[in-house]
Amino acid sequence: MIAEETRKYSPWLPFVTLLRKEILRFFRVASQTLLTPIITASLYLFVFGATLGGRLSVLEGFNYAQFVIPGLVLMGVINNSFANTSSSLFMSRYLGGIVDLLVTPVSPSQFIMAYTLAAMVRGTLVGTVVWGISTLFAELPWQSPLLAILMAMLASFLFAQFGLIAAIFAHNFDTLSMYSNFLILPLIYLGGVFYPISILPEPWERLSYLNPLFYLIDGFRHAVLGVGDTSFLLAFGVSGAIAATLFCWAAWLIGKGYRLRN
Amino acid sequence: MMKALQIENLSKSFAGVPVVKNLSFAIEQGEIFGLLGPNGAGKSTTINMIVGVCRLGSGRITAFGYDNQRDYRFTRRMLGVVHQEVVIDNFFTVDQALKLHAGYYGVKDDPAWRQLLIDRLGLRPHLGKVMLKLSGGLKRRFMIAKAMIHKPQLLILDEPTAGVDVELRHGLWDFVREINRQGTTILLTTHYLEEAEQMCDRIAIMNHGELIALEETHELVRRLSIRQLRLWLEVPLTSIPTRLEPYRPKLKADGRELRLCLPTDESAGVLLQLLCELDLKVRDFETDQSGLEEVFLQLTGMKGNSNDC
């Protein structure tokens, strides 16, 4: 009997199933998870692309629309990666559905990777559509497309981990939205989405280097436009280190079952 | 044969308050085992530690010979659990959720088994509904189907019939007996003690986190239950004969109805002999034997004595 059970077991199926479930989950509420962020980003694109885009220039050789689009694309990736893991895990905790997973053979590493990959799928989808819409307003040079994809994936991965951590520590929906409204949003806006930090007076320029979002945005823009406020390697290195730290933290929390198992 | 479940010296505290204290017991394969106790006795915490929702304080749990911490991937495949609390996921329909749930356990969806569960639990008209649209009883049925979708070898039912109608309860217990006959071991908790008495081969009773009884059901009831003898007398008594004192007699005001408690280890013949010797003319009599419920109340101290005995 036990031998039969062991034979039928497919060790990767729990991971594949959880990944599938997480992707299906956000598609079920696509108007909220995909359409809304795409419309929001499109409004930004319209404002900065169709109205101001051709009239302003903050970076030599590029109009404002070309400057701002990489930041808006990455903003879509970041926000949606964070929203996917944080809302899904928090709702599971809040409504008790997490128990359904805790009693299954899904391992902590499978758990993290399934949630992370689903968040990356959503982040990438939103980022890709935003970029697609942006082509109506400006053409980007795509200097290093592979590095740009790498940077976008890193940003998505990083914020998926942050979403997991936020969902574990959040006590209620208010706390969860505070992470998004009072931490991520200001850091994005102050991280150089809408302006290069080199135009800031001191001490704001120097302070901007302490903003981890700056490295993600600048690295991505560097890969797309070929220029940025800092080198791509530094941006990638700092972002990679933050992503690795958050991943280790999330893995430790989930491995321990912190606030998941009593 | 290896035990379906073995619990050794299990303890657990929450915020310094012990809720499970040095608990040890084992469940044989193929058994229907009842874990009973009043609210707060530690039953659900014990179950949560068995299935992995709750970390162990100390002690050890093995399922089919495998440690539930070290070999959790194996033990969790062997277990299915219906939690006391209704778990809600409104993103998927009943049918979709059942398919997904099999995958979490690493087994491919078995359509024939899934259809059988759907039919036996009366879920067919509700397959396209999300959980929010299900009534309380249907949610409970869905949770049972979910717990069994991967064909567990040990099914844990934590008050599966709480808040469900009589028809479903009967249907569910019939189904549980059927899968038990096919080899699935059952661990159940319920507040319906009559059901536990009918269903369980053995019963453990917990109180304040401790095991206070563990016996075969009929033995537990036989050993601890109390028989009561009610006598209607031809001639009213004015006082109770002293020789009847050991039977804790109670006489009604009219002197015609006498109640006596008969210890389980004493033959009724001895008492009848005594009544003859006392020359008490009996017009009619009735015996009443307490069941598991009375035993439970007695053991857990929730009632001093049953039937006034």
Asked, for residue A110, whether it belongs to a domain, the answer is yes
What is the count of structural domains for chain B? 2
Q: Which of B189, B163, B161 is nearest to B175 (CA)?
A: B161
Q: Are residues B20 and B169 in the same domain?
A: yes
A149: domain range? 14-256
| In-domain check, residue B305 | no
State the Rg of chain B over Cα. 24
Q: How many CB atoms lie within 10 A of CB B136?
A: 12
Enumerate chain B positions whose Cβ falls within 8 A of a Cβ in A: 14, 45, 48, 51-55, 64, 72-74, 76-79, 81, 83, 85-89, 91-92, 96, 100-101, 103-108, 146, 153, 183
**Any idea which residue has 């071991």 for tokens?**
B185
B69-84 pLDDT per residue, tens: 999 999 999 999 999 8
**Domain of B78: which CATH number?**
3.40.50.300
What is the SS3 assignment for B200? coil
Identify the domain boundary among B185, B206, B222: B222
Q: Is residue A261 part of a domain?
A: no
- Among residues B201, B222, B243, the one where a domain terminates is B222
Q: Do A103 and B91 touch (CB under 8 A)?
A: no
Q: Strands B250-251 and B227-233, how do they pair?
A: unpaired
For chain A, 262 residues long, give each residue's pLDDT as a single digit of tens: 545 555 578 889 999 999 999 999 999 999 999 999 999 988 888 887 777 766 666 667 788 888 999 999 999 999 999 999 999 999 999 988 899 999 999 999 999 999 999 999 999 999 999 999 999 888 889 999 999 999 999 999 999 999 999 999 999 999 999 999 999 999 988 888 888 887 777 888 888 889 999 999 999 999 999 988 889 999 999 999 999 999 999 999 999 999 998 7
B217 assigned to some structural domain:
yes
Give residue-wise pLDDT tens across range B27-49: 999 999 999 988 888 999 999 99
Q: What is the DSSP letter of A6?
A: H
Q: Is the N-terminal amide bond of B38 cis, ω within 30° of 0?
A: no
Alpha carbons B87 and B53: distance in angstroms, whole number: 13
Interface probe, candidates A2, A103, A115, chain B, greatest B C-beta count within 10 A: A103
Report the run of H or E that residue B33 belongs to, with start and end: strand B32-36
Interface pTM, i.e. ipTM: 0.86
In a domain, A22, yes or no: yes
Are B181 and B272 in a shared domain? no
DSSP state of A52: S
Check A11 against B14: CB less than 8 A apart. Answer: no
Residue A4 lies in a domain: no
Closest residue of chain A to B50, computed from CA coordinates: A103
In a domain, B190, yes or no: yes
A25 touches chain B (CB under 8 A): yes
Instruction: Decide if A9 is inside a domain.
Output: no
**B22 and B144 in a common domain:** yes
Tell how strand B32-36 and strand B185-189 pair up: parallel
Q: Given strand B79-82, what is the order of strands in its sheet?
A: B79-82, B154-158, B185-189, B32-36, B202-207, B210-216
Residues B48 and B18 in one domain: yes
Instruction: Give the one of B48, B78, B104 whose C-beta lies nearest to A106's C-beta.
Output: B104
**In a domain? residue B297:** no
Residue span of the structural domain in which B238 resides: 227-289
Q: Do B91 and A28 touch (CB under 8 A)?
A: yes
Q: How many other C-beta atoms lie within 10 A of the C-beta of residue A10?
A: 14
Number of folded domains that form chain A: 1
A168 and A89 Cβ atoms separated by less than 8 Å: yes
Q: Are A78 and A156 in contact (CB under 8 A)?
A: yes
Give domain status of residue B308, yes or no: no
Taking only the tens place, the pLDDT of each residue in B144-179 is 999 999 999 999 999 888 777 788 788 888 989 999
Biggest alpha carbon distance in chain A? 74
Separation CA A155–CA A149 (nearest Å): 10
* C-alpha torsion B117→B119→B124→B126, nearest 10: -60
Report whether B278 contacts B284 (CB < 8 A). Answer: no
| A92, part of any domain | yes
- Residue A88: name the closest of A77, A97, A79 by CA: A97
**Using CB atoms within 10 A of its CB, is residue B20 exposed (0-12), middle (13-18) or buried (19+)?**
buried
- Give the closest of A18, A107, A262 to B53, CB-based: A262
- Domain presence at residue A5: no
Q: Is residue B241 assigned to a domain? A: yes
Q: C-alpha distances in angstroms, A225 versus A20, A61, A126, A139, A221?
A: 35, 10, 20, 11, 6
Chain B positions in Cβ-Cβ contact with residue A103 (cut-off 8 Å): 51-53, 76, 79, 81
In a domain, B106, yes or no: yes
Q: Of A50, A114, A46, which is closest to residue A85 (Cα–Cα)?
A: A114
Nearest beta carbon to residue B54 from set A8, A17, A262:
A262
CATH code for the domain in which residue B255 is found: 3.30.70
In a domain, A7, yes or no: no
- Is residue B101 within 8 A of residue B151, CB to CB? The reply is no
Tell me whether residue B296 is in a domain: no
Give me the pLDDT at residue B308, please: 58
Q: Widest CA span of chain B, in angstroms?
A: 77
Domain end point (choices B191, B222, B253): B222
User: What is the least distance, in Å, from the CA of B198 to any CA of chain A?
Assistant: 28
Q: Are residues B266 and B174 in the same domain?
A: no
pLDDT at B306 over 50: no
